[in-house]
Structure 1
Amino acid sequence: MTGLPAAANFVTGAGGTWTQTFQMDGVDITGLDWEFVIRPQAVDTAQPPLVKVTPTETAQGRIIVDTVAGTVQVILTPAATGPLGKGARPYALWSNPGLPTAIPWCAGIFNTTLVPAP
C-alpha cells in the first residue's frame, strides 16, 4: 500500500451536508475500523478534533463502509460543517486509528466557505 495517504482537497459550504465516497480498489477493507477527522493543524493531536466521524452515527455524521463494493463513504452534517465557519484545515481518513495497524488512506485540506442565506 505504498503511496498512502492519497492526497485530495475538498470544498464545501459551512453549515451544509458534505458526502464523499472513497473507492478502495483491490484492498480488502473487511474488519477495519474507520475514522474521519478535521483538525486545526496537521500536528494537532488534541482530543476531540474539530470534527470526528466513525461508523457510529453522531450529530456530526457517520461513515458507511461497503466491503463488497470496497467503498468508504463519509457523511458530515451541518452540525459538523457549521461550526467550522470559513477556513481551510487539514483532514484525514484513517483505518484502525490509534492502533499499530493505523493507516491514513487519504489526507489533505478541507476548505469551508461561507454561503449567503437565501
Structure 2
Amino acid sequence: MAELPLRWRTATVAGAQWSATFTLLDDDGTPMDITAKTFEFVIRPDAADATMPPLIKVTATATAQGYLVVDAIAATVQVVLTSAATTLLGTGCRPFALWMDPGQSDQTCLVEGPFYSRLVTTA
C-alpha cells in the first residue's frame, strides 16, 4: 500500500447505522494478500486515550456495536457500525483507526482519521 496509514475522514448521524468499505491494494495496484489477516476498527474518545476497551471496537465477530466483513479475494474490509454504536458518539469528532493484525508484532494501522458525528433534531 501507499504510505500508511492512509488519512480519511468520515461522518455520520448519531444513532444511525454506518458502513464503509476499504479496498486494500499493494503499491503496484494489485489486491493485497489479506489471507489469514485479522482486522479491527476502533474509535477512541481522543487521540491520547489508550484505555481498553476503546469507545467503539468492531472485529469480524459481530457484537452489539457492529462487525467487519473481510473479503480476501477482493481484498476489501467492510466496517459496519450499528445504531447503538453511533449513539455513543453523540455530537463531536473522535479519532478512528482500521488495524490489520492488531496486537501482533506486525500490526499495521491501515486507515485513520477523524470520525464526525452529530445529533439530528427530531420532529
TM-score by length of structure 1 reads 0.96
Taking the aligned partners of 1:74 and 1:117, their CA distance within structure 2 comes to: 27
Mapping for residues 82-97 of structure 1, pairs under 5 Å: 82-97=87-102
Q: CA deviation at 1:33?
A: 0.7
Q: CA deviation at 1:51?
A: 0.3
Q: CA deviation at 1:117?
A: 2.0
The reply to whether residue 57 of structure 1 matches residue 62 of structure 2 is yes
Q: Which amino acid in 2 is paired with 1:67?
A: A
The reply to whether residue 20 of structure 1 matches residue 20 of structure 2 is yes
Taking the aligned partners of 2:115 and 2:43, their CA distance within structure 1 comes to: 7
Size of the aligned set, in residue pairs, is 118
Mapping for residues 1-118 of structure 1, pairs under 5 Å: 1-25=1-25, 26=30, 27-118=32-123
- RMSD after superposition: 1.0
- Deviation digits for residues 63-88 of structure 1, max 9, x if unmatched? 00001111000000011000110000
Aligned-pair identity (%): 48
Structure 2 spans left out of the alignment, 5+ residues = none
Q: Which amino acid in 2 is paired with 1:82?
A: T
Q: CA deviation at 1:34?
A: 0.5
TM-score by length of structure 2 reads 0.92
What stretches of structure 1 move > 3 A for 4+ residues in a row? none
Structure 1 spans left out of the alignment, 5+ residues = none
Taking the aligned partners of 2:4 and 2:111, their CA distance within structure 1 comes to: 7
